[in-house]
Amino acid sequence: MLRPSMPENESERMETLRSLHILDTPPEERFDRLTRLARRLFGVPIAAVTLVDSQRQWFKSHPGLDASETPRDVSFCGHAILDSELFLVNDASLDVRFADNPLVTGDPNIRFYAGYPLTVDNGCRLGTLCLIDVKPRALDDEERVLLRDLARMAEQEIAAVQLATTDELTGLSNRRGFEALAQHAIRLCKREQKPASLLFFDLNGFKQINDVYGHAEGDRALIAFATVLRTALRDSDVIGRLGGDEFVVLLTDSNEEGTMQTIDRLRHQLDLHNQSAQTPYQLHSSVGTATYAPDSAQSINDLLAQADGAMYANKRSQR
């Protein structure tokens, strides 16, 4: 059996998937409708909308299949997300990659698999719309186009979910998306007994930028600050825009010294931006911090409130 390899953008892909807050959610008619239609159109016993998590593939919709998830290392969909085109296995029992796979040798006895990857706006492939049959078969050209069209419809439904967790202007997580991602990161820190820090940023003089140079320029300033955050931070850090000119970052596995180094790195990156940007103003921010210990009972909302208070204290000290 050949285990699926990891996509090159796995860290970004997982951050995107977690930000949707869709894993382990109840069935939804908009996804079930697509899988029912796929079963009927293709005459297969199983159709599914799958999402490939770090260690498992989880089924958002799975008519004809009893299991709600399977391990990622035996999944067909783990292979399917490695490419942007249709992943097709006509007879898994004759395919060296899958012949001894437990999903082939045992329940649900997969022979035919066709999975079209589900891609979101940033290019990440999160899962598939897939067809499964217990008999070998093939797809003709017309059927391939039909499956692709159904997958596009599933992508549109995922995009609707994504809009609810993403800040449209900057592309960062919005408050809902940040809280979901950050809470997951906090649980991971607790399990691994590692510290974390929350940084709360507020842009200084942002109202003046809007008043003097217009809201379009204010939007460009917000996008620029979001870019600085992305550039200076690690892939494992969770970044969000709460609204207006307020930004937050959760640093995982970061003690007090590491947090101060991160703040210094952000200030340096902001200085570089101000030196190169051809704008009549410069970007500056106030920041407050809150520390999470793995034995703490603090929630993300507790940390946000604490860091928010520290940020306003920092802003007052700069006046």
Residues with a known catalytic role: 245
Cα separation values, 134 from 30, 108, 142, 234, Å: 26, 7, 22, 44
CA dist 42 and 150 (Å) reads 12
Residue with tokens 């800040």: 167
Neighbours of 319 (CB within 10 A): 6
- Return the amino acid letter for 265: R
The tokens of 132 are what? 């499964």
Residue with tokens 């050209």: 141
Say whether the peptide bond before residue 71 is cis (omega within 30 degrees of 0): no
Neighbours of 181 (CB within 10 A): 23
CA atoms within 13 A on the CB side of 53: 17
Residues 6+ apart with CB under 8 A from 114: 86, 87, 88, 89, 130, 131, 139, 147
